[in-house]
Chains A and B, each alone.
Chain A
Amino acid sequence: MIGIIHSSCMDEMDIDFHTNSNSQLVVLGFLTPGDSIHVYVGETSPLSTDQKLVEKNISNAIVTLSNKFGVKIQLKNTDQINPSIYVASQNDFLIESGEEYTLEVVVPNKMPLLAKTVLPTEKARWKTLQTAANRNGGHVLNGSWDPVLSPNLQYGYSVVTFNKGDFINFLGGNTGIKLLSEAYVINRNFFLESNSQIALITKDKNLDEFSKMNEVMLELNRPRKDEGFFSLITMFKGNLSHKSNITNGIGVFGSYLVETQPLF
């Protein structure tokens, strides 16, 4: 009787929710050797259940990247699909491991934004790596690697699989990774294909924190209408914070190195 009453009495109600928060400029920039440089500039909007979520892009920003020697390059928003993404080629500005870079973003009538990142000195490499079939028709991956040591900097790590030619998702791949006895280990289930590759990503601390927050937020945003009661029990029930290294704004300016190899 309790279950019948319980399941038939659970009632959902929409809550009207509005905030009056001031908008802030958003900058997302990620550097890695070899890839084109991409920086996103946008703006936050107050949350409201009355309005659809929109992208507030900034297409008139002046985005400048410089290295410790004072060499600068201005990024251009040439992307027709999304004019808020500013790009530059590494043929024009080289990104190297262990080096420090400064990003400056100037938007008319706003305070200038500033951020720094130092690329990891070297990339983490696999110490052990094994795959085996799991019970759900996929594979379970077990691996380990030693952390990259640096006197002043801490790094984070993620592992993603991809098919050759695809983008490597450096904003994901954080699940199932633990530090055990001074080495990192991973235990995770994957669905792999014959041409799957695996990437072990070494990230600076800012990118590491941002990517973890983003990955949990993907879970929070997942529609739950049809999920069972057990899923409601086990969903994420913590708090999230948005840590930012952008002066006068929010977002992240981070960097990473990638070690890739085929799985099969």
Chain B
Amino acid sequence: MKLCVLYICLLANPDSTQTKLLSFSKQDTVRSIKEVIIRSNSLDRTTRYTLNKKEINQLPAFFGEFDLMKAIQNLPGVSSTQEGSTDLQVRGGSKDQNRILLDGMPIYSNSHVFGLLSTINPLIVENVELFSGAFPSQYGGKLSSFINIQSSNSYTDSIEKTQGAFELGITSGKFNLLFPTSKNNLSVQIAGRRSFQDLFTQFQTRKTTEKIYFYDLNGILEFRPDSFNHFKLSTYFTQDRILFETGIPNKESNGLGKHQSGGSILWKRNQLKHQFDLRISLVRYGNTISESKEFNEPSKSYRNEFETNLTHLDVLWKNNLKINDLINLQFGTQFQRYIFNPIRFTGFQFNQTFDDSPISKNHQNDAAVFASSIVKWNRNHLDFGFRFSSLFNRDKAQEYFLEPRISFAHSIEKYNLNLNVAYSKMSQPIHEVSDPGLGIPLELQIPFSKNLKPQEAHILSLGLEKSFSLNSQTRVDLKAESFWKESKNLILFKDGYDSRSLIINFPDGVYLPQTTEDAFISGGYGQSKGLEFQLKAFNEKWSYILNYTLSNSDNKFSEIDQGLSFPAFQHRKHIFNNSVNYNLSNKWSFSANFSYLSGAPIHLPESYYSIGSGNNAMSNMNTVYVYGKRNSFKMRDYHRLDVNVSRHVHLKNKSLHFNLGVYNVYNRKNSNFYYMFIDNEKNLKVKSISMFPLMPSFSVKLDF
């Protein structure tokens, strides 16, 4: 009888980050055994968190969807901007300070339907890395985080017939198909998702109908001509559209929309001591607001459409050179070109079409070189390098940034403990501004200029991690990290200005700037500091994850509150996420997630005066609010509990998964936004709008 033992082994040396495949055989004995998994700590960056497909699917579903962004929001130091949103705030940074990459392609539109769901189809996700500090030198252009999403690798195993999955939920249906590998090592993967709601509204007979739809579509082509070369073409298309239509007395349509399309080509070459990646990606992203009305008399009919869009070309060449067993060099260059069309007005009025760009197109180039050296000796890991960026735009504004990146890790074997310290300097040439006041915010991408300088940040982190076993089955990983982040050149809308001020043809605007820059105050400072803690405990049957962040985030502008610090909009003192997954059997599993966030700062008036009636122009005054310090009030705290039960049916070569979940089990009315007004009886009303009460969901997934 032959004993053959085949397993994947991470080397016991904690300094190693490589995975090696070892196989042993022994003559005369053959016996099958259960799967054996061996893990060890990797001495690497602490401020790097990973999620794999299994972990994403273990969280309770939202509307029946296992959502990637909501899974990322559960990681330490990460929160959403508001209830239900997929936007991310990382370590007290604003949501525009994060770069999301899908196979290297920047994703600008990361949410469907006001943040209900993320735009990444979870069926295609293989794994996700989040860097919130200790940034590798290849990453630049954002201050707070890089989220690297890798699509499924079709070459894990050679496949002989089509594989994939179909999933049907209450809001949308999705699929992922992987077509067989040909002799030439070519494979194709297609995935898609579409919502249903607009298909049903065609049968409605109400006076006013809402049509809400979204879709996303991914196409991936992989080609491996030999063992050295790997080519991958990824494409991505997504669109959101919300329309309100009425046919009485005249057909009228008002809508919001956004869209993104893109593609990336990657060439990976892997030789003995030298690997390189060459990637080219092109992405186009746009937001639209539209209104139209049809009259019997055609000359009175009109349509107005406002659009803002951005095109982003990215060329990256990255090399990894192994000098010897102790030293690796990484170096490369990156060129990015951004083309902004900040405001474009099209449509027709009085039988005449128009196409107007009152703020002309702008472009911006970002050329960077980067290099780092990774040195390992004894139980130490040192990664030091830099990124040098040069920025140019059409208005001849130029900026240069030298960004050092250093991280050091040391393993204390006696206590099975890793210590890490890291420093990064980052720069960000594009500002994304959101409306600062009450209501649903719109966002705009604003390129840097001579007066709106690129944002910069220094980030320092200090952390430790420890792993140990509770028993032979259960492992516990602990991570704790403190961070300090200081940023400058932040921008905010001036008082009185909001996104409407930049819609030049907006006729009812009181504050209309002469140029885009006139709508902003710039040169602001931000400071964030905090402590993150993560506990992961898992064995074969269950897993438990606890993430907690205690932090403070302030801003400071010379024009606001006489230059004193005030709470930043993204400040959340406590962020707490708690999730458990339990496999009752190979047929049943259960998961639950509890989240808690301190309420967001909000700017509300403190006092008022009313003049009342009069016999002169003063009677045209209303109640006047008087505001105190910026963001001195806090919205209600946010918390909710979600649960999910899954039934798995395993058939020959197929498996069915039925998921029944409840979002917000105790029906907490978490605030999405506030607004205020005075009613007819002179009572002040402050209202909270919540959008996601207790919601059951159901989905079915077929894997084949």
Contact = CB atoms under 8 A, between A and B. Distances in A.
Nearest to A136: B300
A9 B626 CA distance: 33
Given A48-B684, A222-B677, A237-B439, A55 B496 contact: no
The interface centre, meaning the residue of B195, B500, B625 with most chain A CB atoms within 10 A of its CB, is B625
A224 B677 contact: yes
Contacts of A175: 507-510
B362 to A, nearest CB: 19
Interface string A237-259: 11111100000001000000000
Contacts of B614: 79, 81-82, 85
Contacts of B497: 238
Contact of A56 (B498, B609, B669): B609
Given A3-B211, A228-B244, A40 B611 contact: yes
Interface string A1-26: 11111110111111101010101101
B675 interface: yes
A214 B510 CA distance: 10
B684 A17 contact: yes
B627 A171 contact: no
A30 to B, nearest CB: 7
Contacts of A56: 609
Contacts of B500: 234, 236-237
B303 to A, nearest CB: 12
B292 interface: no
Given A12-B689, A53-B682, A1 B605 contact: no
Contacts of A85: 614, 616, 618
A220 B617 contact: no
Interface residues of B, number: 95
A232 B646 CA distance: 39
Interface in A162-196: 167-172, 174-180, 187-189
Nearest to A137: B300
B327 interface: no
Interface string A213-242: 111111011111000111011111111111
Contacts of B618: 28, 38, 40, 85, 171
Interface residues of A, number: 88
A234 B507 CA distance: 12
B116 A2 contact: yes
A71 interface: no
B197 A214 contact: no
Given A15-B688, A79-B615, A217-B624, A239 B510 contact: no
B436 A238 contact: yes
A250 B512 CA distance: 26
A178 B210 CA distance: 36
Contacts of B603: 239
A223 B679 contact: yes
B681 interface: yes
A174 B678 contact: no
B478 to A, nearest CB: 39
Contact of B684 (A6, A7, A53, A168): A53
B511 to A, nearest CB: 6
Contact of B212 (A6, A11, A167): A6
28 contacts: A1-B197, A3-B201, A11-B689, A12-B688, A13-B690, A15-B636, A17-B604, A19-B628, A42-B609, A47-B604, A47-B608, A49-B683, A81-B613, A84-B611, A175-B510, A216-B511, A217-B625, A220-B676, A221-B622, A221-B678, A237-B438, A237-B441, A238-B498, A239-B436, A239-B495, A241-B627, A242-B627, A250-B626
Interface of B: 113, 116, 170-171, 195-197, 200-201, 210-212, 244, 254, 256, 289, 291, 295, 300, 302, 349-350, 435-442, 493, 495-501, 507-512, 514, 603-618, 620-628, 630, 636, 669, 671, 674-693, 695
